[in-house]
Amino acid sequence: MTHPVKAVSLPDLNQLAGSAAFGRFSQTALWLEYGEDRTGDIKTSMGTVSAEYNRVLHILKSRNGIGQGCRIACQFTRDLSLREIGLIVKKKGATNE
CA 58 to chain centre: 2
In whole angstroms, what separates CA 91 from the centre of its chain?
16
Determine what percent of the chain is predicted with pLDDT higher than 90: 43
Q: What whole-number distance in Å separates Cα of residue 27 and Cα of residue 17?
A: 17
Which has the higher per-residue pLDDT, 72 or 94? 72
Distance CA 75, CA 44 (A): 14
In a domain, 3, yes or no: no
The pTM of the full predicted model, rounded to 2 decimals, is 0.80
In this structure, are residues 61 and 28 in contact, taking their beta carbons and an 8 Å threshold? yes
Q: Write out the residue range of the structural domain in which residue 49 sits.
A: 28-88
Number of domains in the chain: 1
Q: Is residue 61 in a domain?
A: yes
CA 13 – CA 49 distance, rounded (Å): 30
Position 94 pLDDT exceeds 60: no
Question: Across all residues in the chain, what is the average pLDDT?
Answer: 85
pLDDT, residue 93, reads: 58
